[in-house]
Amino acid sequence: MQALLISVCFFIHFSHKANSINTYNQSRSDTEIDLRVYPDEIKPMEDGVSIRAYTNNVNRKGLQVFIPVKTVDDLKKISKTQKVVEFKIKGNIEPLERPTNINQFDFRRIMYGKAVYFKVSKASLLEYNILTKNSLIAKIHSWRKKLLKRCTKLEEPLQSYCMGIILGEQTDYLKENSTKLRNMGIIHLFCISGLHVFYFIKLIEIVFTRFKIKRETMEITQIGVLPLYFILGGGSTSLFRAVVLVLVQLITKKIAIKISTLDSWCLVLLVNLWLNPFVLLQMGGQLSYLLSFVLIMQQMENSWTTGIKLFLVELPIILFSTYKIHLLTMVFNLIIVPIFRV
């Protein structure tokens, strides 16, 4: 009965989401659009900025847009700001294009997984305003922008590792190495890693223990800080899974409710699907949840058995997404899975 009720609720929610997207699926030409963008979502380019805006006045859906900026001073000002920026632009709102050829890269499917459903073409900047007062969430995005700027002062590869692992920001160096990891057949292992969340929680525990602060205060602090770190860490699917899974365990422990790891995993997946029904359209989302599920179900198995099962489970997903698989993937699983098994 509970499963049926949950299924009905999600069916209604998914239908509403699909209908709300289809309602705006027709192109709109020469439309004035108001966008509110966090500073770390502004990507400066040679003659403008590329932004991913989740707040707009037209359809309130995620938009991908490149905004040309005419003057160098304005471009520098927008690129360097650490405040929320409100843009007023004019352009054509269009649905993301479907792939036109068989086996063509499906950009729309990837963007849907990131809650971006439309793009703006032929955009022109009418005006912009840098806000002076920001909410707590906006301040966290501002801190992330500051940390990203500090990371650029480091030498490679430390710069990219700090930006990628801690702040969830892709760099050219990481993209190049991601290709190498994909060719080696171990890129999927980074989808199930929760080590940074584990160490973050452990760091809080060490600090509070060192200063002899009450455990209750420590647990409340951990529960309060984790959602903030999710924003600071870039908000990826694997980070969401790791953060919310730890949150569920902390909260249930706090209120003295026993819940298994599998039940926690199910709850996290339901929450993620409710917030973003398209999260499993990405290879990262599929691997993150499916492989973590295998690890949960194989906790009592040895590394050999787990490595083989992981390989068999990930094989169709990787082949479907990349059309290739490394012959030594299973060997790499056996070596590296114990490290990533969090």
pLDDT of residue 2: 78
Domain ranges of the chain: 28-130, 136-183, 185-340
Stated pTM of the model: 0.80
Cα separation, 177 vs 165, in Å, equals 13
Alpha helices (H) in the chain, listed in sequence order: 2-23, 72-80, 107-113, 136-151, 158-161, 172-184, 195-210, 215-232, 237-254, 261-275, 283-297, 303-322, 329-340
**129-159: b or e for each residue (b if 16 or more CB lie within 10 Å)?**
eeeeebeeebebbbbbbebbeebeeeeeeeb
Query: Angle CA(162)–CA(166)–CA(169) in degrees, nearest 5?
Result: 75
Q: Which residue has the higher pLDDT, 266 or 324?
A: 266
Q: What distance in Å separates the CA atoms of residue 247 and residue 255, rounded to the nearest whole number?
A: 12
DSSP 173-224: HHHHHHHHHHHHT-GGGGGS--HHHHHHHHHHHHHHHHTT--HHHHHHHHHH
Pair of tokens at residue 252: 């249930």
Name residue 130's beta-bridge partners: 85
Average pLDDT, the chain: 80
Residue 230 CA, distance from chain mean position: 9
Biggest CA–CA distance in the chain, Å, is 63
Q: Confidence class of residue 342 from pLDDT cuts 50, 70 and 90? A: very low
pLDDT 10s digits, 269-304: 999 999 888 888 887 788 888 888 887 887 766 767
Q: DSSP letters along 111-141, please?
A: HHHTTEEEEEEEEEEEEEEE-S---HHHHHH
**Residue (of 129, 120, 133, 131) closest to 51 by Cα position:** 120
Q: Where are the alpha helices (DSSP H) in 47-116?
A: 72-80, 107-113
Is 261 within 8 Å of 296 (Cβ atoms)?
yes
For residue 300, count CB atoms less than 10 angstroms from its CB and return exposed for 0-12, middle for 13-18, buried for 19 or more: exposed
Give the model's pLDDT for residue 169: 77
Residue 184 has pLDDT above 70, yes or no: no
For the domain bounded by 28-130, which CATH number is listed? Answer: 2.40.50
- The C-alpha atoms of residue 70 and residue 77 are separated, in whole angstroms, by 12
Taking only the tens place, the pLDDT of each residue in 67-108 is 888 888 888 888 888 888 889 988 888 888 887 777 777 788
Over residues 235-249, mean pLDDT: 85
